[in-house]
Amino acid sequence: MAQRTLVVDFDGTITEQDMLDDIAQTFGDGEVYREVDEGLDRGSVPLREVIRREFEPVRAELGDVVEYVLRKTRVRPGFRELVERAQAEGWRFVVVSSGFHELIEPVLAREGVSVELHANRVDPRPDGWRVLWSYGDDCETCGESCKRATVDALANGGEVVYVGDGYSDRCAAEDADRVFARRGLARWLDGRGVPYEPFEDFHDVARALVNGA
């Protein structure tokens, strides 16, 4: 039997709030944030440009931002329990994020969770943060910097269960075998007629996967 791969987004999915949005507004330029965020909603600004422009104005030291993240970020209930369930069941558990290793890893360590992580990286220059991209910018399906190819490679032909909440999850979720969605991702899938299962926390996801395996 092919292995089940559980792919989980980070910002707004594992975390209760979108950490990237919070940092861009708190440490960056609020006007730039609003401009590119509205452009993303309209479809006139691609995701890669959004992230690049949001973080170019950030000049804080990485350590200060990590301290802020650890102080403010709350993880959605049931996360550790879902990781433990996946390990017990022999499922591959992977966090796939458009965020940054440097900000995600401290949160995972604080929660005492060790999982496979795929994300971008950041060069926190004093003249403005620069994003070091881990994903290609020319997905054959959506044409954007996209998680889909990474998820396909991770699954290697096995079952993909995707858990997400936002814009960066759309293309990969559409290609998954089973999807758990909330917020913007749920609205997008509704509009496309793509089936998904709503969730509020990871206890919901674990129950559904165990009972409906």
Average pLDDT value for residue range 177-187: 97
Average pLDDT value for residue range 18-29: 96
- For the chain, how many structural domains are there in total? 1
For 151, the domain range is 4-17+75-211
Domain membership flag for residue 67: no
Query: CATH code at 198?
Result: 3.40.50.1000
**Tokens coding 13:** 């999915």
Residue ranges in the chain assigned as alpha helix (H): 19-27, 30-42, 47-55, 62-72, 79-89, 101-110, 148-155, 170-174, 183-192, 202-211
Separation CA 143–CA 161 (nearest Å): 23
Domain membership flag for residue 200: yes
Look at residue 154 in the predicted model and tell me its pLDDT: 87
Separation CA 146–CA 134 (nearest Å): 10
Domain membership flag for residue 52: no
pLDDT digits (tens, 9 = 90+) for 41-85: 999 999 999 999 999 999 999 999 999 999 999 999 999 999 999
| Per-chain mean pLDDT for the chain | 94
**Tokens coding 67:** 């301290």
Domain membership flag for residue 44: no
Separation CA 44–CA 39 (nearest Å): 5
Give percent above pLDDT 70 in the chain: 98
